[in-house]
Structure 1
Amino acid sequence: MGEKKQIESLINGGEATAGPPLGPALGPLGVNVLQIVNRINELTKSYAGMKVPVKVIVDVDTKDFEVEIGTPTTSALIIKELGIEKGSGTPNTEKVGNLSLEQTLKITEMKIKDTYSKDTKGALKEVLGTMVSMGVTIDNKDPREVQKEIDDNKHEALFKK
Structure 2
Amino acid sequence: MATEVVDVLVTGGKATAGPPLGPAVGPLGINIMNVVKEINEKTKDYAGMSVPVKVIVNTDDRSFEIEVGIPPTSALIKTELGLDKGSTEPKAIVAGNLSMEQAVKIAKMKKDSMLSFTLKNATKEVIGTCVSTGINVEGMSPRDAQKAIDAGEFDEYFNE
Give me the TM-score of the superposition, normalised by structure 2.
Answer: 0.94
* CA deviation after TM superposition for structure 1 residue 26, in Å: 1.6
Q: Distance in 2 between the 1:84 and 1:24 partners?
A: 31
Residue 37 of structure 2 corresponds to 38
Structure 2, unmatched stretches of 5+, are none
Residue correspondences, number: 160
Residue 122 of structure 1 corresponds to 121
Q: Distance in 1 between the 2:97 and 2:154 partners?
A: 19
Q: Distance in 1 between the 2:90 and 2:153 partners?
A: 25
Q: Distance in 2 between the 1:27 and 1:137 partners?
A: 43
The reply on whether 1:97 has 2:102 as its aligned counterpart is: no
* CA deviation after TM superposition for structure 1 residue 154, in Å: 2.7
Residue 149 of structure 2 corresponds to 150
* CA deviation after TM superposition for structure 1 residue 135, in Å: 1.2
Q: Distance in 2 between the 1:19 and 1:131 partners?
A: 32
Residue 160 of structure 1 corresponds to 159
Give me the TM-score of the superposition, normalised by structure 1.
Answer: 0.93
Amino acid at match of 1:90: E
Q: Distance in 2 between the 1:99 and 1:48 partners?
A: 21
Structure 1 residue ranges (4+ consecutive) displaced by more than 4 angstroms after TM superposition:
none
Amino acid at match of 2:42: L
Q: Distance in 2 between the 1:112 and 1:64 partners?
A: 31
Cα-to-partner distance string for 1:29-60 (whole Å, 9 max, x where unaligned): 22111111100001111111111111000111
Q: Distance in 2 between the 1:130 and 1:3 partners?
A: 39
Structure 1, unmatched stretches of 5+, are none
Identity, % of aligned pairs? 51
The reply on whether 1:71 has 2:66 as its aligned counterpart is: no
The reply on whether 1:110 has 2:113 as its aligned counterpart is: no
Cα-to-partner distance string for 1:59-81 (whole Å, 9 max, x where unaligned): 11121211011111111111111
